């Protein structure tokens, strides 16, 4: 019998199809999800489900729906969708949701992102552990409940999702922009035309140039993971060759958006976080903004300078969403290019972040590289992963090596130095890895600090 602890992790379900994740597993998780909601006093009449462009998605979603029906609950199936479109459905319908996607993972993977009504997150400490335990029992029970009557309603919410996003950002008064969008054969190829398609563009000074918009879960051109620099190369080349003002790259389920300037250089997600935070603070003065602890130190500095209240969070969508809800934050951003909005049920949406960037750039008479430089103040290493056999021991060695640093343990260990340099070292939740992020006032200091820490971590 499959061990579900291998695929149900801290934030979602993710595994290789069919060896780790298959239709019987999806069915068991569907039933377990309803039972978890019911036990927590959040019993729904229906659950909304969707899937991305991966070939295994429709079958897995249908099996999950059978499990939901077996538990006595109905299903609204919105079909093909981006993850933020599923969050829109969950928020607007006030229903729990299940999105079948493996995000940026390779083609052989699939998974599920679960949420409660109103797009509230379901993570390890907010129900996912209970789902895993119950689904494991169901898989081992030969007398598990049979399929009940099918209670599945099909709905198309793509147009309503697009209209909602357009209501949140006004693009009508911007200067003309040429925008190249790399969807990576993922769901951006489905949602970008809906949000910024031909009928919409007739009223907007935008020229959208599509790159890899054909939905194809085998990812024939490159993996839909813009966090890996090699997957941005086609977009960067196209921006330079075609003289575009900006390039946008979406991951497989289009909940993350990466930005490339007119020179083809990547704009850091920290700079985008600061830029969008500044726009939201202009609209909602004095508001709280959430940033995770490995975004640039420039982010809380700029939030404070613009009159906002920066709040530092652990890494991970379930943590940042919970922090946003608790503080009623207007916006939140992560180093991984997840951007969260109060106007979007505190959920993350790459499309809305992209629209904010287009609106900001379109209100400037200068190129993106010059504009974005205002939000880039320090030199960062990016995330560096090291495979280790004993993460705790290596972390202890690093701590001992920097006795004069200020250290906190909000998420892993963060070391801060008097010259403004800092680094964070934290263990992966799912792999035998230590993840290192370093930032410093200049490239030389960053490189020397990075190399010093890596020498200890890697022995």
Dig out the tokens for 447 from the structure.
Answer: 């490189």
Task: Return the beta strands (E) in 81-174 as ranges.
Answer: 97-100, 109-116, 120-121, 152-154
- Residues 6+ positions from 417 with CB-CB distance below 8 Å: 404, 405, 406
Between CA 47 and CA 38 the distance in angstroms is 12
Give the residue from 379, 376, 394, 378 showing the smallest Cα distance to 435: 394
Residues 30 and 89 in one domain: yes
Contact 352, 344 (CB under 8 A): yes
User: Which among 56, 90, 103, 313 is annotated as catalytic?
Assistant: 103
Residues 190 and 101 in one domain: no
Checking if the pLDDT of 28 tops 70, the result is yes
Checking if the pLDDT of 177 tops 90, the result is yes
Checking if the pLDDT of 431 tops 80, the result is no
Residues 107 and 203 in one domain: no
pLDDT tier at 142 (50, 70, 90 boundaries)? Answer: low
pLDDT tens digits along 340-380: 999 999 999 999 999 999 999 999 999 999 999 999 999 99
Question: Could you tell me how far CA 142 lies from the centroid of its own chain?
Answer: 37
Checking if the pLDDT of 143 tops 70, the result is no
pLDDT tens digits along 119-136: 999 988 899 999 999 999
Q: What's 374's DSSP letter?
A: G
Residues 329 and 311 in one domain: yes
Reported as type and span, the H/E element at residue 261 is: none
Overall average pLDDT of the 45-70 stretch? 97
Checking if the pLDDT of 55 tops 90, the result is yes
pLDDT tens digits along 145-156: 677 788 999 999
Write the CATH number for 446: 3.30.310.50
Residues 10 and 141 in one domain: yes
Q: Tell me how crowded residue 147 is: count the other CB atoms within 10 A of its CB.
A: 12
Share of the chain above pLDDT 90, in %: 89
Q: What is the mean pLDDT of the chain?
A: 95
Overall average pLDDT of the 185-203 stretch? 87
Structural domain containing residue 233: 159-264
pLDDT tier at 100 (50, 70, 90 boundaries)? Answer: very high
- Residues 6+ positions from 410 with CB-CB distance below 8 Å: 293, 312, 314
Tokens 């997957």 correspond to 231
The angle, 0 to 180 degrees and rounded to 10, between the axes of the packed helices 158-168 and 350-362 is 40
pLDDT tier at 101 (50, 70, 90 boundaries)? Answer: very high
Residues 11 and 148 in one domain: yes
Residues 21 and 134 in one domain: yes
Q: How many folded domains does the chain comprise?
A: 4
Looking at per-residue pLDDT, the higher value among 57 and 430 belongs to 57
Which of 216, 238, 264 is at the close of a domain? 264
Residues 97 and 128 in one domain: yes
Residues 123 and 196 in one domain: no
Between CA 65 and CA 265 the distance in angstroms is 43
Pairing label, strands 339-341, 331-333: antiparallel
pLDDT tier at 229 (50, 70, 90 boundaries)? Answer: very high
pLDDT tens digits along 241-298: 999 999 999 999 999 999 999 999 999 999 999 999 999 999 999 999 999 999 999 9
Overall average pLDDT of the 183-203 stretch? 88
Overall average pLDDT of the 302-323 stretch? 93
- The predicted structure's pLDDT at residue 145: 65
Residues 136 and 175 in one domain: no
Q: What's 8's DSSP letter?
A: B
Residues 274 and 319 in one domain: yes
Dig out the tokens for 431 from the structure.
Answer: 């792999």
- The predicted structure's pLDDT at residue 317: 81
- The predicted structure's pLDDT at residue 15: 96
Write the CATH number for 234: 3.40.120.10
Checking if the pLDDT of 90 tops 90, the result is yes
* pTM of the entire predicted model: 0.95
Which of 138, 155, 172 is at the close of a domain? 155
Checking if the pLDDT of 174 tops 80, the result is yes
Checking if the pLDDT of 176 tops 90, the result is yes
Give the residue from 85, 57, 52 showing the smallest Cα distance to 184: 52
Residue 110 phi, psi dihedral angles, 5° rounding: -150, 175
- The predicted structure's pLDDT at residue 2: 87
- The predicted structure's pLDDT at residue 199: 66
Residues 351 and 454 in one domain: no
Which of 136, 155, 174 is at the close of a domain? 155
Between CA 67 and CA 27 the distance in angstroms is 4
In terms of DSSP H, where are the helices of 185-268? Answer: 188-196, 198-201, 233-242
SS3 (DSSP) at 288? strand
pLDDT tier at 203 (50, 70, 90 boundaries)? Answer: confident
User: Is 103 tagged catalytic?
Assistant: yes
Checking if the pLDDT of 21 tops 90, the result is yes
């Amino acid at each position: 019998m499959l061990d579900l602890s291998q695929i149900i992790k801290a934030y979602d379900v993710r595994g290789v199809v069919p060896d780790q994740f298959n239709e019987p597993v999806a069915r068991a998780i569907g039933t377990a999800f309803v039972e978890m909601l019911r036990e927590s006093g959040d019993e729904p009449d229906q659950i909304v489900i969707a899937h991305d462009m991966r070939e295994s998605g429709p079958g897995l979603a249908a099996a999950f729906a059978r499990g939901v029906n077996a538990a006595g609950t109905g299903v609204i199936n919105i079909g093909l969708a981006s993850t933020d479109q599923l969050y829109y459905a969950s928020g607007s319908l006030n229903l729990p949701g299940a999105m079948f996607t493996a995000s940026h993972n390779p083609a052989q993977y699939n998974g599920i992102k679960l949420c409660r009504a109103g797009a509230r997150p379901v993570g390890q400490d907010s129900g996912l552990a209970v789902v895993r335990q119950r689904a494991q029992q169901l898989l081992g029970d030969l007398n598990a409940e049979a399929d009940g009557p099918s209670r599945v309603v099909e709905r198309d919410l793509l147009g309503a999702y697009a209209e909602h996003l357009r209501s949140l950002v006004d693009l009508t008064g911007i200067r003309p922009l040429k925008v190249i969008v790399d969807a990576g054969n993922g769901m951006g190829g489905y949602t970008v035309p809906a949000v910024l398609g031909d009928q919409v563009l007739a009223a907007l000074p935008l020229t959208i140039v599509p790159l890899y918009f054909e939905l194809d879960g085998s990812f024939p051109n490159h993996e839909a993971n813009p966090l890996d620099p090699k997957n941005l190369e086609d977009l960067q080349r196209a921006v330079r060759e075609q003289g575009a003002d900006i390039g946008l790259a979406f991951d497989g389920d289009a909940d993350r958006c990466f930005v490339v300037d007119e020179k083809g250089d990547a704009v850091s997600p920290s700079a985008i976080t600061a830029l969008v935070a500044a726009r939201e603070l202009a609209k909602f003065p004095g508001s709280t903004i959430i940033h995770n602890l490995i975004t640039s130190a420039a982010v809380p500095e700029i939030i404070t300078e613009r009159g906002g209240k920066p709040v530092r969070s652990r890494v991970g969508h379930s943590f940042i969403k919970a922090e946003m809800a608790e503080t009623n934050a207007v916006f939140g951003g992560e180093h991984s290019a997840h951007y969260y909005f109060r106007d979007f049920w505190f959920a993350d949406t790459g499309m809305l972040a992209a629209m904010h960037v287009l609106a900001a750039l379109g209100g400037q008479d200068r190129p993106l590289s010059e504009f974005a430089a205002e939000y880039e103040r320090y030199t960062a290493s990016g995330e560096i992963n090291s495979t280790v056999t004993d993460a705790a021991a290596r972390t202890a060695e690093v701590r001992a090596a920097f006795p004069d640093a200020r250290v906190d343990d909000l998420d892993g260990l963060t070391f801060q130095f008097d010259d403004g340099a800092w680094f964070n070292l934290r263990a992966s939740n799912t792999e035998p890895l230590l993840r290192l992020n370093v930032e410093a006032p200049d490239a030389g200091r960053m490189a020397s600090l990075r190399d010093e820490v890596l020498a200890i971590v890697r022995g």
